Structure 1
Amino acid sequence: MTLYREVGALMEQVAECAILPRFRRLSGADVAEKSPGEVVTSADLEAERLLAEGLASLCPGVRIVGEEAVSADPGRLSGVGEGLVWLVDPLDGTANFAAGSALFGMMVALVEDGVPQMGWILDVVTGRMCFAEAGKGATIDGQPVRARGTGSPRPVAALGTHFLEPHRRERVHAHAQGQLQRVAVPRCAAESYPRLVLGENDIALFQRSLPWDHAAGALFVNEAGGRVTHWDRSPYRVGGHGTGILAATDPYLWEVGAQVLLGEEAGLLSVPELVG
């Protein structure tokens, strides 16, 4: 069995035993605040434990960096852009999951010296699996896929500006008004990246670039023919110095988004990245 199938099967097994049984069945004891405005559930913790055990068995000796492990010990993130690393987001969109919304997923990426090599995005509820391998294209449920735009006269954009200070957020939105068709963000990268490939969104903007949130998705969109970079236009890289992320269905739409959002008028390039 190839690594693609082995990791996919592991993710599906973990979803089946650790996440789905708890969906819309969480008790108060299953949910805790890990930082202001951020929650963690028993499903996150159990899923990450099982994924880490399974990945360690598949690839002994490869470093594993999981979201919840880093939350408990931020030092685990040090050197994440060096060598071969598994990045694990056991339950992306935890707030949605805890609220009973189906906008959540599971993401795993294999990264070498900061460059994503393989990435998996599982829609836990539907079972849809998005996968990409560097230089070999992207697939959905094993079938090759190419990104397609919405075809809207104004590009459909999901702007992740909710972490900005209100006056900065208003400035970005005001500048985008009339140039982009802004839609609500799903607050779940495992949902955002597939939307860029499936013709639902044309552009996505993120301020936070925590590696487990973006490595698999950035690779998936890039391999499907889209473009994903940091705000300074440098290629997406784990552990690099680039801040923020701009992603689009294709290079042309990325340029449209960059002209609107990364110019001086929008003011984003003066905004610090959030790493927590």
Structure 2
Amino acid sequence: MNGVDLGRDIALAGRLADAAGEAIRPLFRGDWNSERKADSSPVTEADRAAESAIRAILESERSDDGIIGEEYGTRNEGAGRQWVLDPIDGTISFMAGRPIFGTLIALLQDGWPVLGVIDQPISAERWVGAIGEGTTLNGLPVRTRACKELNEATIASSGPQYFTDEAAGAFMSLAAQTSQIVVWGGDCYNYGLLASGHLDIVCEAGLKLYDYAALVPIVEGAGGMMSDWQGNPLDANSDGTVLALGEPARLESVLEAMG
């Protein structure tokens, strides 16, 4: 793909994740400051330190690329190549001492996700996906699992508090037609588990680009698929509704179940 050297970009993404982890680990279950952002979501000094560490490398080595970061905003907005950063996806889990948060690093080419990393720096789990490449967990290939019928599926979501009333109704309608084994909490970690064959569906709404961009190459490179709630592929202009399916053949039944 024009502008993407996958080998170099994957190696760089790994170094970015390393730098974020080095900033996060000393603060986990330790002393850190936090505050509420304008949207009332929490941010800690670990979030900011991790994004600062990533941005320092990108600004030094890829000065022509754009950056879209949750904590420090956008640089080179019109660039064809854009790195999308969520230094701690699952800040509440970090604050609670739960090692199921993750650093998300994505590369977009002309608005489309072509590379993604989920890095859990405490358990040392790193999923890497890139367009045209198979997804790996710590360097070993992973695959989603087969799901023959919707009523056999295990479904996950970050939490009911993130749904509007209308979206909650759609989620509950879907959940009622699955195995009704529902996993709450986990943020990006759920998508890694889906890519590794431990979950079948992740369904969420209200996500920002930095919440989902890295997940797309990971899920799809493992044999799954991601879309919005209308079944459309995810890109920089998606509406924030997100479905991840380990078995792409279940999409029609999932959309039908959601009404």
Alignment of 1:1-276 (within 5 A): 2-16=8-22, 18-27=23-32, 30-70=33-73, 76=74, 83-149=80-146, 154-160=152-158, 161-166=160-165, 169-170=168-169, 172-174=171-173, 176-189=175-188, 191-238=189-236, 240-261=237-258, 263=259
**Does the 8 A contact of 1:231 with 1:243 survive in 2?**
no
Residues 146-194 of structure 1 deviation map (CA, whole Å, 9 limit, x = unaligned): 22247895210114543234576256425632434241332422x0211
Query: Identity over the aligned pairs, expressed in percent?
Result: 28
Q: Distance in 2 between matches of 1:148 and 1:232?
A: 23
Select between 247-256 and 214-223 the one with higher mean Cα deviation.
Answer: 247-256
Residues 194-232 of structure 1 deviation map (CA, whole Å, 9 limit, x = unaligned): 111122210011102311111111111011110101112
Q: Distance in 1 between matches of 2:161 and 2:27?
A: 28
Q: Distance in 2 between matches of 1:167 and 1:64?
A: 33
Q: Which amino acid aligns with 2:226?
A: V
**Does the 8 A contact of 2:65 with 2:82 survive in 1?**
yes
The alpha-carbon deviation at position 59 of structure 1 amounts to 1.7
Query: Any idea what SS the aligned residue of 1:87 has?
Result: strand
Aligned length: 251
Q: Identify unmatched segments of 5+ residues in structure 1.
A: 71-75, 264-276
Q: Which amino acid aligns with 2:211?
A: D
Q: Distance in 1 between matches of 2:174 and 2:102?
A: 32
Two-structure CA RMSD over aligned residues (Å) = 2.5
Query: Any idea what SS the aligned residue of 1:137 has?
Result: coil
TM-aligned CA distance change 1:181 to 1:78, over 3 Å: farther
Q: Which amino acid aligns with 1:206?
A: E
Q: Distance in 1 between matches of 2:143 and 2:156?
A: 20
Output the TM-score relative to the length of structure 1: 0.82
Query: Any idea what SS the aligned residue of 1:19 has?
Result: helix
Q: Distance in 1 between matches of 2:138 and 2:228?
A: 28
TM-aligned CA distance change 1:142 to 1:41, over 3 Å: same
TM-aligned CA distance change 1:168 to 1:206, over 3 Å: closer
**Does the 8 A contact of 1:121 with 1:129 survive in 2?**
yes
TM-aligned CA distance change 1:61 to 1:95, over 3 Å: same
Query: Any idea what SS the aligned residue of 1:181 has?
Result: coil
Give 4+ residue runs of structure 1 displaced > 6 Å after superposition. Answer: none
Query: Any idea what SS the aligned residue of 1:96 has?
Result: helix
